[in-house]
Chain A
């Protein structure tokens, strides 16, 4: 926490980023351009998902290539609860569906955490390339399950007819929904900062830097990593629930490995392990997507090219470029 109080160049840039993300939709709202509000909401949600992953990947050095599983799971929780809430059919064990976000969010967070616990418990027995491939494979398992299970739309996905409700907020208004996502994003970034500065956060970063030393001082790296992985899954799951509500649609594409790849890309574009790296990355990514998509149909090709150049020549991402190298290796 001490570090966060000091006015560094990075903190200043973080402040500007947060202010910009708020200013853009306010301006768009004023000018009557709701499309840009949706774009900013997308940035906020993707940044939230990537903040979750940043905990495992940035702090813990756990390159999870399967976080789409949690993102999609959160999305399906929102979609399935809403569809049962709409039809009135009871869910498993006599629970009924709901269109209340304050119910949906905890369910998404808890379920993502449980699935994260199961996937993490097995995957974290391995490391390095094995870990990358196993998390990828587990996410694919969830993906194929969603595709082949016809009850909730299978390959076609599931629509949310009316955006879910939050007491006292008109969620269908783009600006209101943006503010919900924005607040959750800031709270999560705050949580990330707290975790990073805590004893647990120090231990987590130590397991990334030198596993043997951590074990020597009597801390089990496996437990630390598993805890981080589960918290990370929870945050990404919450982002998934919001993403489903943004699009009012959830489909297996939220679970696909492209999604997992994109989440990693967001972190790298912004700057690995940085507090506002995911936000910087998400903003850059959505801006690329929008700007390149306006110029050429083949924007993915150029996105790939830019990404390749960033990896090869501009390590440290946007924040690395603007705020200098991270002070912690």
Chain B
């Protein structure tokens, strides 16, 4: 029984990790190529979730909603890049932080304006409802397994895109020397818009996928955004590989910490106290892990060559 429970928690951790990867990949790509820190990435996650919930409610199909979430988040990303972000590439990080912080205020309040303060709900599509048996006698929801699979597919796709295609080649070139590829005749302004929209689409996808597990509401992107920051700091800012490993590490550590710490403490102190201290300690665990990693490697596990 305990083994089955631990396995279930491990899968939950993986699922969280995969979600974080979708967020972190976009953030780290945008930083790697454009040198931009984008706080509004969580807002794009929220846009994806709302688009999916609204379109799924109209059409009755989760799948159309999912396509809409990708399209809407990418479009929102492209518009934001053209109107605002483009002016920030030459600015220092402080200006970037402030401008994207301002964007969060506008996105959050704007969404509340359009959809009200009540959360929307998104149903898991019929195809992915139900549960699969796990070894040890418990069951695990198919939908969560599907999220893990989707994350793996996206990670592989991103790898192929970056290492095998012309666009990927340009992205890599942009990471190593921005001015040079501009001088070589690549239209870097368009490249930047494409990269930003790609990152936005990944965030939107994450939002839509998680939207069916939780409620879709304003502010849903912020906790995920901060976890994604922890992920890319651990992994090394600018590194997709670092983002993947960091995301899995953070996802599993967080979930297993919440599950195990109270149980371990219960061996030493009364259960009520163990729950309280364990819960509080578990909520701090990933930050402690981050601090330890940074104490040893200040630039993260896989530091990008430049930046």
Contacts and interface: CB of A to CB of B under 8 A. Distances in A.
Q: Is chain B found bound to chain A in the same assembly?
A: yes
Interface of A: 57, 63, 65, 122, 125-126, 128-130, 132-134, 136-138, 140-141, 144-145, 147-151, 257, 261, 264-265, 268, 272, 298, 300-301, 303-305, 307-308, 311-312, 315
Contacts of B226: 136-137, 140, 257
Contacts of A138: 287, 291
Interface of B: 31, 37, 84, 87, 93-95, 97-99, 101-106, 108-110, 112-113, 222, 226, 229-230, 232-233, 237, 276, 279-280, 282-284, 287-288, 290-291, 294-295, 298-300, 307
Contacts of B103: 304, 308
Contact of A304 (B109, B284, B288, B290): B109
Nearest to B237: A129
A298 B95 CA distance: 24
A179 B75 CA distance: 52
A311 B298 contact: no
Contact of B284 (A134, A136, A144, A303): A144
A295 to B, nearest CB: 14
Contact of B294 (A57, A125, A129): A125
A151 B273 CA distance: 11
B276 A65 contact: no
A265 B279 contact: no
A140 B109 contact: no
A239 B167 CA distance: 51
Given A147-B283, A257-B226, 8 more contacts: A57-B94, A129-B237, A130-B300, A132-B37, A134-B290, A301-B105, A301-B106, A304-B102
B13 to A, nearest CB: 17
B298 A265 contact: no
A122 B105 contact: no
Given A140-B287, A145-B284, A148-B280, A304 B98 contact: no
Contacts of A272: 94
* Closest 10 pairs (CB-CB, A-B): A304-B105, A141-B287, A301-B109, A304-B106, A307-B102, A308-B102, A144-B283, A300-B109, A304-B102, A311-B99
B93 A129 contact: yes
A308 B84 contact: yes
B280 to A, nearest CB: 5
Contact of A141 (B97, B113, B222, B284): B284
A320 to B, nearest CB: 14
Dominant SS among interface residues on chain A: helix
A272 B92 CA distance: 13
Contacts of B84: 308, 312
Nearest to B234: A137
Given A137-B290, A298-B113, A311 B102 contact: yes
Contacts of B109: 298, 300-301, 304
Most buried by B among A65, A122, A132, A137: A137
Contacts of A265: 98, 101
A130 B99 contact: no
B298 to A, nearest CB: 5
Nearest to B223: A140
Contacts of B283: 141, 144-145, 147-148
A305 B102 contact: yes
27 contacts: A63-B97, A122-B291, A122-B294, A125-B298, A126-B294, A126-B298, A128-B307, A129-B93, A130-B233, A130-B294, A130-B299, A137-B229, A145-B284, A148-B279, A149-B276, A265-B101, A268-B98, A298-B112, A300-B108, A301-B105, A303-B105, A304-B109, A307-B98, A308-B102, A311-B99, A311-B102, A315-B95
Contacts of A307: 98-99, 101-102, 105
A155 B282 CA distance: 16
Nearest to A313: B87
Contacts of A147: 283
Contacts of A145: 280, 283-284
Nearest to A146: B280
A300 B98 contact: no
A301 to B, nearest CB: 4
Given A137-B290, A149-B280, A304-B104, A132 B99 contact: no
